Amino acid sequence: MVFTERVMEEAKPSKKDFEIDKSLVFALNEDDVILYVDSEFSRLCEERAEDIVGQKITEYLHHYLVGNLIKQEMSFIQFMKEQKDNHIRIDIVTRRSKNRKTLSCEYRDGGFLEKTGVALLVIGHDPEKEKLLEELIEFEQESSKQIVSGSFDMVLTIDNNLKIQNVNRCFESKTKQNSYELEGRNINELLARERDQKSLSQAIEQTSALQNAYNIKLELKVADRIIPTLANIQALRDRYNNDIGYALVFRDIENELQMNSTLQQIERMQALGELAAGIAHQIKNYISGIQNGISLLEINIRSRVTVDKEAREKISTFIKEIKNRLQRLNALTRHLLDYSRNQQAPVFSYGFVNDVVLQVVELVGDAVKSKMASIDVELADDIPPLYFSPLHLEQAILNIVNNARDALPERGGQILIKTYRTKNFICIDIEDNGHGISEDIKPHIFEAFKTTKPPGKGTGLGLAVALQMVSSLGGTIEVESERESGTTFSIKIPIKKKPEIIQ
């Protein structure tokens, strides 16, 4: 067990001692050497905890107190224990900035922490915040454990009119607002939707019936984003059991929701992989039938003397082109099968990036022209042969170009693909003059199943697959976009040397 856990376990201070806005804790051995400080003491001293531990406490005390200790030949521990009042005002001074802070401190004898070497445990309170969350309630056992463990971290209190009275530091941090900005505001102003306000109202009615309300789903509105939370609510009462307000403890569950969403996406991807495998098998069967038919067609053409030489050559050219397309379709189908089995690594070979770009332009040329748009290329001459997987790069560029095509205006649309070299990378820029990507969508464009297209127009997989393809080549994709000003996707592929064959 680490030292912090041993102090918490053996000292068993109340949760009020460790409430983030009320107290800080440090422990000393019999020589006044600091053995432990909590995060609040570290923050106050503007130093890391590991840098403070091992120092003498006199390094952080005001000079007048240090002078008195020296004059009376007394240790700090002796000074604390000789005070009649357990609450003693002590000035802490930072070593770097010399900032001074007055604390109201109480101590606990270290006898019960003998195994840890602690002679004195000091709990300091900010006198200005002594009344902060005065009526901090004792939740039922399960809720109390969650608060101490940090599962619930945002705390505020409100009065009977739902006006915010106090908030803790974590709430300030999450909402990006200071306590003076929040105090006096109606709690409903921080709730995202009307349904949250109704949920809170119902929970308050429940607490008024001497029952705690647990795990209420409430969404907090913070600037331009929403924080999903689970809230515990408890009525605050005076000595005569009259309601004087309510304490709310919020637990941020945004990460949990994202994890659940990710798991759902994984399940959908697995189902999609199984579907893709079945389709790929069918396509392979069709390809095989077409290839056999073409072979028979070639034999018949050769055997027919009535077909003149020029016609035969044209037919042979068409058949050759069909074969090339079938080979690429076959390679893509094999990749789709292997991808669905999650066992395909890129098949690297020497090739030219410019050739891949031209192949993509040939594939999408007719589709772009159908939108009364144009697709152009600017291919650099100094790009060397690259050791890469042409199929992976082609699929990535094709997916990005298809997205660019869908984003083009009805008339005057333009797509430009440029290749160039920078140091040890080959770069491919795909530019369009489409409607662009908004700032709120941009961070999510490479996530699976994220699409802004209407139903039936997109799966949300194009850019996710493109990123995976480029990543498998050791490359990256960057995007620059402005609304109504177009978008540029930049692919960077490292120039790799073919690995040496081990004999």
- Return d(Cα 486, Cα 414) in angstroms, integer: 10
Question: What is the end-to-end Cα distance of the chain in Å, rounded?
Answer: 52
Instruction: Please say whether the beta carbons of 212 and 138 come within 8 A.
Output: no
Q: Mean pLDDT of successive 10-residue segments in the chain (503 residues)? A: 46 41 77 89 89 92 89 90 78 87 81 76 72 42 39 76 87 83 90 90 78 84 83 77 81 75 62 66 72 74 65 77 74 60 62 90 82 90 87 88 87 91 92 87 77 58 82 90 87 74 35
Q: Could you tell me if residue 62 is left (phi over 0), alpha (psi between -120 and 50 degrees) or otherwise beta? A: beta
Strand partners for 24? 124
Level-2 CATH architecture, domain 349-494: 2-Layer Sandwich (3.30)
Q: Where are the domains of the chain?
A: 3-129, 141-252, 258-340, 349-494
Q: Which of 226, 256, 231 is nearest to 246 (CA)?
A: 231
Question: What's residue 210's pLDDT?
Answer: 59
Question: What's residue 359's pLDDT?
Answer: 86
State the fold for domain 141-252: Beta-Lactamase (3.30.450)
For β-strands 386-388 and 349-351, DSSP reports them as antiparallel
Q: Where are the alpha helices (DSSP H) in 341-412?
A: 353-369, 390-407
Residues 6 or more apart whose Cβ sits within 8 Å of residue 50: none
Four-CA torsion 156, 159, 161, 166, nearest 10 degrees: -40
> What's the CATH number of domain 258-340, 1.10.287, 2.60.40, 2.40.128, 3.40.50?
1.10.287
Other Cβ atoms within 10 Å of 312 Cβ, number: 13
- Return d(Cα 353, Cα 388) in angstroms, integer: 9
Contacts of range 364-371, beta carbons closer than 8 Å, 24 or more positions apart: 364/398, 364/401, 364/402, 364/405, 367/402, 367/405, 368/405, 368/408, 368/413, 368/415, 371/405, 371/408, 371/410, 371/413
- Return d(Cα 248, Cα 164) in angstroms, integer: 10
Instruction: Please say whether the beta carbons of 166 and 183 come within 8 A.
Output: yes
Instruction: Please say whether the beta carbons of 139 and 157 come within 8 A.
Output: no
Other Cβ atoms within 10 Å of 453 Cβ, number: 13
- Return d(Cα 35, Cα 38) in angstroms, integer: 11
The reply to whether 3-129 and 349-494 are identical in fold is no
Instruction: Please say whether the beta carbons of 122 and 28 come within 8 A.
Output: yes
Q: What token pair was written down for 69?
A: 């200790």
What are the distances in angstroms from CA 406 to CA 5, 86, 399, 451? 58, 73, 11, 12
Instruction: Please say whether the beta carbons of 496 and 388 come within 8 A.
Output: yes
* Entry pTM: 0.39
H, E, C per residue of 196-220: HHHHHHHHHHHHHCCCCEEEEEEEE
User: Top-level CATH class of 3-129?
Assistant: alpha beta
Other Cβ atoms within 10 Å of 474 Cβ, number: 12
Question: What's residue 449's pLDDT?
Answer: 62
- Check residue 186 and report its DSSP letter: B
What are the distances in angstroms from CA 371 to CA 4, 367, 406, 415, 452? 67, 7, 9, 12, 19
